[in-house]
Structure 1
């Protein structure tokens, strides 16, 4: 029987969520219609492959905003919940689903599609390139002394206060960092633990807010403590879930707060930017160790004129290039007139100075990779 691939209906959200979790090798699923519906909003962007009425593959996308170099934002389609059951792999199911979703994104006028890849090798063939990378850090508190301690007062806050204060701080950061995306009200409710997956227990960490001298909230840190003792000596570890500072002073102050905690020997933090300032705050920068560098946000250009025209560039210049797109969504020549003040990009029939794949373009679109790096790698 041929597979039926279509968007799901509102009465299929529970079955869809079960299929998503099964696809990620999770059998422990508690049915909750309200939660299931919230996770596939908008429902008309939740795709599924059905066999004999049973969902065997899933794919969902949602609208968001992506910050470009220079601070402008463009609309984007964000791909998530991409699964295919082991019994149906290598049958072209996801190829059909991803291809249809990319075409739908282009028709909606979204200039770029984005995702976080569960497995690196999958998405390059669909034109996605790794554009944003992230780091993970460990801080040895036995060797930590700050040369830049930051400023501001710190206070514990409850979930409701965090939910009230954090979004405005985040927005000030998001508009300055290429590759960051907007967060919905649902995202913030989940971050604040005001809504949680039906399988999850309450979050039992700590929330600390940093305020400046005027009383304005400028940053926060959410963290948990993993208790450990060794020979009557405290060796506990702080696990940072998220640290965000809208000013350098607030960010430094929050790091110093963590370093000053009693009974703690180390701090770990993941999903940090590649230009993390932590080691620069320390008298001995080696106390902060980068333990991981990994790909994070992948981008797939769809409307190249709008995407490249929305960002700013370090230098002034003109480039004529041709894009090779195996999906046929962006195949043609383009001319980019770029400057630190802005840019314009348009289609052209001029002879190209550069020919590259849409995946390569996606990898450099946000400034995290240079064209020269890709060229050197072949």
Structure 2
């Protein structure tokens, strides 16, 4: 029987979500998690694959606005909940869903698509490149001290109900969004995503601490505590969900607060920017057990519009010869002219300076991955001497791009 592809009806939500959970092979999400996903889900942007009456493939998309270098927010499709049941692998189901999605994104005028990958090797063949990385840490607070800059002692910490503090936390988050590429402008319903109960076994409730400076809330941290005891005494873990601040002093004070929580000896955090300041606040970086992994995977749906939407660190004029077999409308030569004020990117008949796949262009798009490094790996070919170094310098951004939460 042929596979049929169609949109998801609202009454099919629970069946759909059951299949998503089975596709990822994990335990069922707690009810509050499922309810939150239902709250933000966009049924009209979902593709499902059916073999008769059996749901065998899922792929959704969210409507986002993504910060790009320069601070603009670009219309972006956030690909989510992509699964194929194990009985229907290697039958072209994933390829067919990706085809339908990218065609739809183009029709909607979304120049960029993004996703977070359960397996990074899957999406490169569809033109997605790893565009951001995330820092992970497990900090031994029994052995690591946190530096306190001048003024940190004057920052007041106040524990509050996370739901009651939601609005102020969102205001702080919104103020930070334009300053770092990769961050998502919060859409309706997403403000409660950070409030779902902790999922760590044995963890206590979600807590929120507000950091106040001169009577104004200037930062926050949301976390939970998993108590533990060893023969030597208390050995609890602070699971840090998110931490943000509008001032370096407040940021340092929040970390010092977390490190000083009684009955704990570890702070565990799974997603901070790769250039996070916490690396410079600790006395012993080795005992922080730092690591990184891929974050946001980026796909340019419209090369010209996407490249013109961001700014560039130094002036750049370069002609790219782009290869994009999955979205052939992007293939060919594009001339990019840009600087810190703006850019244009148009079709060109001029000789190409650099040749690359759209995957590598997506990886470099947010300014965190180096075109020069990809060139050293043989993924970007320099056709005009000096073009690679110049383009690489123009694309890189500071601070490093970062996706603060999954979807």
Q: TM-score, normalised by structure 2?
A: 0.85
Is 1:67 the equivalent of 2:80?
A: no
Is 1:184 the equivalent of 2:187?
A: yes
Larger displacement relative to structure 2 (14-23 or 350-359): 14-23
Asked if 2 retains the 8 angstrom alpha-carbon contact of 1:40 and 1:46, the reply is no
Partner of 1:370: 370
Is 1:259 the equivalent of 2:255?
A: no
* CA-CA distance at 1:300 after TM superposition: 0.3
Distance in 1 (CA, whole Å) between partners of 2:25 and 2:298 is 26
Partner of 1:135: 135
Partner of 2:47: 47
Is 1:104 the equivalent of 2:104?
A: yes
> Aligned pairs, how many?
372
1:134 match: secondary structure? strand
Counterparts in 2 of 1:25 and 1:144: CA distance versus 1, 3 Å: closer
* CA-CA distance at 1:362 after TM superposition: 0.4
Is 1:234 the equivalent of 2:234?
A: yes
Asked if 2 retains the 8 angstrom alpha-carbon contact of 1:227 and 1:236, the reply is yes
Asked if 2 retains the 8 angstrom alpha-carbon contact of 1:65 and 1:76, the reply is yes
Deviations along 1:291-316, whole A, 9 cap, x unmatched?
x2100100000112221112222211
Partner of 1:210: 211
For residues 1-378 of structure 1, the aligned pairs below 5 Å read: 1-26=1-26, 28=28, 35=35, 38=38, 41-149=41-149, 150=152, 152-193=155-196, 204-213=205-214, 215-290=215-290, 292-327=291-326, 328-378=328-378
Counterparts in 2 of 1:262 and 1:30: CA distance versus 1, 3 Å: closer
User: What residue ranges of structure 1 are gaps of 5+ in the alignment?
Assistant: none
Q: TM-score, normalised by structure 1?
A: 0.91
Asked if 2 retains the 8 angstrom alpha-carbon contact of 1:147 and 1:283, the reply is yes
2:179 match: secondary structure? coil
Asked if 2 retains the 8 angstrom alpha-carbon contact of 1:47 and 1:58, the reply is yes
User: What residue ranges of structure 2 are gaps of 5+ in the alignment?
Assistant: 379-407
Counterparts in 2 of 1:31 and 1:133: CA distance versus 1, 3 Å: closer
* CA-CA distance at 1:284 after TM superposition: 4.1
Distance in 1 (CA, whole Å) between partners of 2:41 and 2:316 is 42
Asked if 2 retains the 8 angstrom alpha-carbon contact of 1:156 and 1:207, the reply is yes
Distance in 2 (CA, whole Å) between partners of 1:201 and 1:39 is 27
Distance in 2 (CA, whole Å) between partners of 1:230 and 1:268 is 18
Larger displacement relative to structure 2 (349-358 or 151-160): 151-160
Distance in 2 (CA, whole Å) between partners of 1:371 and 1:190 is 34
